[in-house]
Amino acid sequence: MSPSPLAIQPADVLAAAQRLRGVAHRTPVLRSRTADARSGATLFFKAENQQRMGAFKFRGGYNALAQFTPEQRRAGALAFSSGNHAQAVALAGRLLDIPTVIVMPHDAPAAKLAATREYQAGQAGSEVVLYDRYTEDRDAIGQRLATERGMTLIPPFDHPHVMAGQGTAALELIDEVGALDALLVCVGGGGLISGCATIAKAMLPDVRVIGVEPEAGNDTQLSLARGEIVTIPVPRTIADGAMSPASGQLTFPVIQALVERIVTVSDAQLVETMRFFAERLKQVVEPTGCLAAAAALNPGLAGLPDLRGARVGVIVSGGNVDLPRFAEYLAR
């Protein structure tokens, strides 16, 4: 039996880049002599914390909604998320004039709720639907909305258009800095790394793509070792964007085919990296956004190849963190 084809191809990422041209920010690539000295490598930080709505998720969300048929546009998009995907879909819907319903737990961070509602403000048919995560079934609520209103569900990572959109971050990075020996990318459900690996390996066949997960949430590392998707209990980590208990049915085969390995970092290393970004690069980066950089800045990490002398791309995935909490982390 031949393996089924991968969910996305390099051409899908190139097509996504066309759709995003002039809409998504072409985020800057940051350099730091201190970081280079510490890692022994030459590091190129792709600052997706400066992307619209504060994370790379805008790329995938917009790429998905931009491909809706006229009927899908009229009925609108539906997303479940308490995090960056919610804001990404809400903003993409606003820009494309597509109504959005975002299903969020009633105890989602107030700042995220407010930001999502702000993107939807004044748009007919757009709303946040709150549910009680302890007594109500989120999937049932979503199913009902999708059936009643004919809305199209856009998942946060396991969708070809989402995966392809996320890959444009790596495309821009390689466009700007040229050849890389390695690319470090954080892994939650695997949308970002599957898109980035697809385009990076096409442009630079020898590039080593390495995923980074939180120590407590190493489901993809386990899955690669076992050769099938492993589901773990919802991990306890400050990297709230990487709390997915399993990688996706579409993302995992891409990871298996193109990602060399996955390494893990501790919450303490994430905090240290947040401090590094704030102090040295004057960047606000959320804990999940620090995963890949934390690996680069800790060259002794178990399983991490020797990157001394290498040119290494590092995706800094997002910057949405509650400021009081951010201050608390830095004060530790």
Ligand X SMILES: *Cc1c(COP(=O)(O)O)cnc(C)c1O
- Residue numbers annotated as active site: 57, 82, 213, 217, 219, 317
154 binds ligand X per the rule CB under 6 A: no
CA nearest to 39, candidates 312, 308, 267: 308
Residue 192 or 296 having the CB closest to ligand X: 192
Residue 75 or 252 having the CB closest to ligand X: 252
Q: Of 46, 57, 201, 208, which one interacts with ligand X (CB under 6 A)?
A: 57
Q: Of 242, 293, 297, 314, which one interacts with ligand X (CB under 6 A)?
A: 242
Strands 42-47 and 29-30, sheet pairing: antiparallel
Least distance in angstroms from the C-beta of 244 to ligand X: 6
Least distance in angstroms from the C-beta of 164 to ligand X: 12
Least distance in angstroms from the C-beta of 217 to ligand X: 10
84 binds ligand X per the rule CB under 6 A: yes
Least distance in angstroms from the C-beta of 163 to ligand X: 8
Residue 99 or 156 having the CB closest to ligand X: 156
Q: Of 160, 217, 235, 241, which one interacts with ligand X (CB under 6 A)?
A: 241
How far is residue 196's CA from residue 18's CA, in Å, rounded to a whole number?
16
Stretch that binds ligand X, among 8-16, 61-69, 173-181, 283-291 (CB under 6 A): 283-291
Strand segments, DSSP code E, in the chain are 29-30, 42-47, 77-80, 100-105, 127-131, 152-153, 182-186, 208-214, 261-265, 311-316
313 binds ligand X per the rule CB under 6 A: no
Q: Of 8, 210, 286, 329, which one interacts with ligand X (CB under 6 A)?
A: 286
Letters for 166-185 (x = contact with ligand X by CB under 6 A, - = none) are x-------------------
Distances (CA, A) of 43 to 5, 38, 96: 33, 10, 36
Q: Of 76, 104, 317, 321, which one interacts with ligand X (CB under 6 A)?
A: 317
Distances (CA, A) of 113 to 288, 317, 325: 19, 20, 16
Contacts of 224 (CB under 8 A, 6+ apart): 255, 256, 259, 261, 262
Residue 75 or 112 having the CB closest to ligand X: 112
Eight-class DSSP state of 158: S
Contact present, 68 and 90 (Cβ < 8 Å): no
How far is residue 109's CA from residue 52's CA, in Å, rounded to a whole number?
19
Residue 172 or 286 having the CB closest to ligand X: 286
Stretch that binds ligand X, among 39-47, 113-121, 200-208, 238-246 (CB under 6 A): 238-246
How far is residue 139's CA from residue 162's CA, in Å, rounded to a whole number?
20
Least distance in angstroms from the C-beta of 18 to ligand X: 21
How far is residue 315's CA from residue 313's CA, in Å, rounded to a whole number?
7
How far is residue 296's CA from residue 212's CA, in Å, rounded to a whole number?
10
288 binds ligand X per the rule CB under 6 A: yes
Map the footprint of ligand X across residues 183-212, applying CB under 6 A. 186-193
| Nearest-5° Cα angle at 199, 312 to 21 | 100
How far is residue 243's CA from residue 246's CA, in Å, rounded to a whole number?
9
Residues lying near ligand X in the complex (CB under 6 A) are found at 55, 57, 83-84, 156-157, 166, 186-193, 241-242, 244, 286, 288-289, 317-318
